[in-house]
Amino acid sequence: MYTLNCRGALLVLDQPVVMGIINLTPDSFFSGSRKEQVSAVLAKAEQMIREGATLLDIGAQSTRPGSNYLTAAEEWARLEPVLPVLLEKFPSCFFSIDTFHARVAEQAAAMGIHMVNDISAGLLDPAMLAVVAAAGLPFIAMHMKGTPQTMQSLAQYTDLITKLTDYFLERVNSCKAAGIKDIILDPGFGFAKTISHNFQLLRALDQLQLLGHPLLVGLSRKSMITKTLGVPAEAALNGTTVLNTLAVLKGASILRVHDVKEAMEVIKLVKTDH
């Protein structure tokens, strides 16, 4: 069991929880997750919370392979109108900000966000770890190589799990040295990894539990599903549910998903004592 201190509110991970994805991006890979208007964002958030989401992850920059890069100012311009409304309307929900810009994380923290989710684990912006530590927030550190624009060309490993373990050991040490208390690890499915790497990682996911931090898994409607099954992202819910089931069995503490209801059903079915 893990406990995360989120601005004084404790998030207890005694069983897996669901993090709903809310994208404020016009170019997200899954069109059903794009919510640019405040009213649409509120409706989506309300639905996800009603269906059982413990956390909502708010992002304004697409990080799919080859996506367009936004500056911190451009990213914040998308977030600024939405974050205060979400935080005010849903005070019992935990919100994370999905960004690799330290300035965006700092501004979101000042508004009251509960957690920072960085695809680069603090490597794309050297100020990030200090910002998160100063705010006293939990930090989600993901594994990636390069940037979203270059990562797929860097998907080469001699021993994937050993590389991830070494990466996380170094990142955890850097986070702790900066003063970050609560660290969540995301192995980064689809980030600088081939389809084969993704399945290899899923099979060995339980090995990463040895690092002693909660694991966040983001498999929702990703290419390891769509390319393997030959379906578009819109038809990848069943495949997502299958892989989320395997991830929970392998020790995932947080499922980051577009479809909350189905992910909650996974957790209930896997974790119910009969």
Dihedral, CA of residue 26, residue 76, residue 186 and residue 173, to nearest 10: 160
- For tokens 């989710």, the residue is 117
pLDDT of residue 30: 45
- For tokens 């330290």, the residue is 102
**What mean pLDDT is predicted for residues 251-258?**
98
Higher pLDDT, 109 or 273: 109
Higher pLDDT, 107 or 157: 107
- For tokens 């069995």, the residue is 249
Q: Beta partners for 254?
A: 17, 216
> Hey, CA dihedral for 185, 190, 196, 202, is it positive or negative?
positive
Q: Which of the residues 35, 44, 193, 222 is marked catalytic?
A: 222
**What is the 8-class DSSP label of residue 209?**
G
Q: Please, which residues have CB within 8 angstroms of residue 153's CB and are 6 or more apart in sequence? A: 146
Q: What percent of the chain has pLDDT over 90?
A: 81
**Comparing C-alpha atoms, which of 4, 103, 122 is closest to residue 60?**
103
Domain ranges across the chain: 2-268
**Comparing C-alpha atoms, which of 243, 194, 258 is closest to residue 18?**
258
Give the type of residue at 117.
N
Give the type of residue at 171.
R
pLDDT of residue 76: 94
The per-residue pLDDT for range 217-244, each reduced to its tens digit, is 999 999 999 999 999 999 999 999 999 9
- Note if the pTM is more than 0.75: yes
Q: What percent of the chain has pLDDT over 70?
A: 92
Q: Which of the residues 256, 261, 268, 271 is marked catalytic?
A: 256
**What mean pLDDT is predicted for residues 155-170?**
92
pLDDT of residue 29: 43
**What mean pLDDT is predicted for residues 91-114?**
97
**What is the 8-class DSSP label of residue 68?**
P
**Comparing C-alpha atoms, which of 253, 172, 261 is closest to residue 3?**
253
The per-residue pLDDT for range 59-68, each reduced to its tens digit, is 998 776 666 7
**Comparing C-alpha atoms, which of 133, 206, 129 is closest to residue 164?**
206
Query: 183 and 138 in contact (C-beta within 8 Å)?
Result: yes
Q: What is the CATH number of domain 2-268?
A: 3.20.20.20
- Please state at what angle helix 160-178 crosses helix 128-135, rounded to 10 degrees: 60
**What is the 8-class DSSP label of residue 164?**
H
- Please state at what angle helix 128-135 crosses helix 102-111, rounded to 10 degrees: 10
The count of other CB atoms within 10 Å of the CB of residue 87 is 17
Is residue 256 part of the annotated active site? The answer reads yes
**What mean pLDDT is predicted for residues 167-191?**
97
Average pLDDT, the chain: 92
Query: 54 and 267 in contact (C-beta within 8 Å)?
Result: no
pLDDT of residue 40: 87
3-state secondary structure of 12: strand
Dihedral, CA of residue 239, residue 161, residue 166 and residue 209, to nearest 10: 60
Name the helix (H) or strand (E) containing 173: helix 160-178
pLDDT of residue 177: 98
Q: What pLDDT band is residue 94 in, cutting at 50, 70 and 90? A: very high
